[in-house]
Amino acid sequence: MPYKVEVAKLATIARNIYEQNAEYLDSLKKKYSEIERDDFLWHFLLQSFSTMGRSSGWEGLIGNKDNYNQVTFDALSGLSDEEREEVVKSVCRVAKIRMPDRKAGFILSCFKALKDLGGLKQAKQKLLSAEGRDGKMKFLQQLPGIGPKYARNIMMDVYHEDFRDSIAIDVRIKAISETLGLNFIKYQEHEDFFLDVAGAAGLNGWELDRLMYNFRDDFEREIAKA
């Protein structure tokens, strides 16, 4: 196992933080029920684009129901191509998400892609029937704007069983790596390091990922003290 010292150090910290926050993680696991939503895929695509690059964008696009209701799949389906483009661009700007015009382009392209797949029900069925984690990630990464991080994160947000040993590497998790003095070039190498940490801490990858995302300050403080 590479980085044995760092793995052991971070595993001890992670276990302690987990024991203080296990109930919170249990509450996040209950979001599994959201996979039953008819609009599951569209909702989590919108959520991905709202937080991509800046998590505060969630409040403007998802938390603000006036904005959100304008860009539901059903709402956009009733518009012409020109009207749809105007609405999506306007809502992304009003919601103050990062790079609103680029995100609007992703949303519009994903709308077309899902339409081409037969709509939300058929697209969801194809996603969930894809084989294992790799198959589901491959499906999601065919959608405009969705890369390795969000392909993992969409399914991790609903605690899907194929993604419980996954790490969605983002800026917060990269910051923890940097605090440890580590720098990874390849995504898989980075993920593998944290999966080693999770195993050493007696956690699954999802649990470690959500701990680091929600309690980054605690991790950085404890690393500095160790």
Rounded Cα distance between 170 and 66, Å, is: 29
Same domain flag for 66 and 124: yes
Residue 101, Cβ neighbours under 10 Å: how many? 10
Report the pLDDT value the prediction gives residue 135, as an integer from 0 to 100: 98
Given 108, 138, 158, the domain boundary residue is 158
What is the largest distance, in Å, between two alpha-carbon atoms of the chain? 59
Report the pLDDT value the prediction gives residue 226, as an integer from 0 to 100: 79
CA 60, distance to chain mean position in Å, is 17
Half-sphere exposure for 10 (CA within 13 Å, toward CB): 28
User: pLDDT-based confidence at 1, cuts 50/70/90?
Assistant: low
Residue-wise pLDDT for 117-135, tens only, equals 999 999 999 999 999 999 9
- What does DSSP assign to residue 226? -
Rounded Cα distance between 39 and 61, Å, is: 16
Same domain flag for 26 and 47: no
Find, among 24, 22, 18, 26, the residue nearest to 198 by Cα: 18
User: pLDDT-based confidence at 54, cuts 50/70/90?
Assistant: confident
Q: What is the pTM of this model?
A: 0.89
Q: Mean pLDDT across the chain, nearest whole number?
A: 96
Same domain flag for 113 and 46: yes
Q: Which residue matches tokens 């194809």? A: 126
Query: Is 17:201 a contact under the CB 8 Å cutoff?
Result: no
Range of the domain at 117: 39-158
Same domain flag for 150 and 44: yes
Query: Is 31:159 a contact under the CB 8 Å cutoff?
Result: yes
In the chain, the number of structural domains is 2
Q: How far is CA 100 from CA 52, 73, 90, 130, in A?
A: 11, 18, 9, 31
Same domain flag for 17 and 54: no
Same domain flag for 90 and 153: yes
What is the mean pLDDT of the segment spanning 56-70?
A: 96
CATH of residue 142's domain is 1.10.340
Residue 166, Cβ neighbours under 10 Å: how many? 22
Q: Strand, helix or coil at 37?
A: coil
